[in-house]
Amino acid sequence: MRGIKRWSDIPSSEITSEDIFWSRRKFVQAAGIVSATSLVPPVIGDETNEILRYQGEVSFSQVPPLWLTQKIGVARPSEFSTKEAVTPYNHITQHNNFYEFGSDKDDPAEKAVNFNSDPWSVEVSGEAEVRGRIALEDILKNHDLEERIYRLRCVEAWSMVVPWIGFPLADLVKRLKPTSNARYVRFETLYDPKQMPGQRSMFTSIDYPYVEGLRIDEAVNELAFVAVGVYGRSLPPQNGGPLRLVVPWKYGFKSIKSIARISFTSKRPKTTWEKANSREYGFYANVNPLVDHPRWSQATERRLPGSLFAPKRTETIAFNGYGPQVAHLYADMDLKRYY
């Protein structure tokens, strides 16, 4: 295991200590809270003790179970969080890719409002000592939750900064005890056409259930994360509630939502986007400004939110800026070939 590192990956020209202070403070004010702590600027470069919370109104037909709300409520900040300004809650929850609920960015928020994910369980199979169906509560009871503010870079060349709540994927993988034959972890999204209109559509461009996968060494990297919340709340269905993957150094499509199955395999799983178009989407999908998508450049990205008249275009960084933590995983690979 490598030691915990502090963040120093953000070009200092892009963010000032004042930005950090005002982004947190504006957030707290917008939420209508005036607490003593909100008036005290955090010591820059130090961890603040509070996680970001969205206090505005949200309405979903499903109220998260109390134990989950309580568990999320005691999440702690993480050293791995970026200090960049976070994307507002409304953008994170209303600009989504979740083809099971439609292919327009505003489809998931609209069509997943009634998604019922309680009770939820995950079926574990394959090359692991622990197999079978595990209830969400049993998955979570062994893990303390933390907030990880990560950049999310979509292959479509937009990006956001998201305050996820969850726990390291490595801790779950270790608990499931993969055998020595396990070289990959395969994830599958729920298949439930009654609840997911995209799975009933005749015009779908991808196969369901949605499948993703990681090499085991990628899966146990300290940055690979399982999210169950965002902005101090449980994860809304459009963001992949109740349980999703977050792999911040890879294009967003690797961060599979609403996981219902996990299996350990000796062979590389066939993943959804690679199956749909292997020339455009690879298994690795590491963020890489030097390898363009066949139909567009990956050298820059549009940071959300931005307006048509004032788009925030920034340079895309290799491994989405997480190179110090993950570049060693690909040291002997030709990343132009294994895109």
Residues forming contacts to ligand MTE in the complex (CB under 6 A) are: 96-100, 152, 154, 189, 210, 239-240, 252-253, 255-257
d(Cα 214, Cα 283) in Å, to the nearest integer?
Answer: 8
d(Cα 160, Cα 92) in Å, to the nearest integer?
Answer: 8
Coil, strand or helix at 287: coil
CB nearer to Mo ion: give 154 or 259: 154
Size, binding site for Mo ion by CB under 5 A: 5
Coil, strand or helix at 137: helix
> Side chain identity at 207, as an amino acid letter?
D
**Closest approach of Mo ion to the CB of residue 54, in Å:** 22
**Closest approach of Mo ion to the CB of residue 151, in Å:** 13
Among 52, 154, 220, 285, binds Mo ion (CB under 5 A): 154
Q: Is position 255 an interface residue for Mo ion (rule: CB under 5 A)? A: no
56 φ, ψ (degrees, to nearest 5): -70, 180
Which positions from 97 through 136 interact with Mo ion, judged by CB under 5 A? Answer: 97
CB nearer to Mo ion: give 102 or 252: 252
**Closest approach of ligand MTE to the CB of residue 128, in Å:** 22
Degrees (nearest 5) of the Cα angle 120, 123, 128? 145
Coil, strand or helix at 274: helix
Radius of gyration of the chain from its Cα atoms, rounded to whole angstroms: 19
**Closest approach of ligand MTE to the CB of residue 303, in Å:** 13
CB nearer to ligand MTE: give 96 or 325: 96
Which positions from 5 through 64 interact with Mo ion, judged by CB under 5 A? Answer: none
Place of tokens 């062994």: 142
Give the residue from 279, 286, 282 showing the smallest Cα distance to 317.
Answer: 286
d(Cα 154, Cα 305) in Å, to the nearest integer?
Answer: 14
CB nearer to ligand MTE: give 42 or 206: 206
Task: Decide which of ligand MTE, Mo ion, none touches 224; Cβ closer than 5 to 8 Å per partner kind.
Answer: none
**Closest approach of Mo ion to the CB of residue 156, in Å:** 6
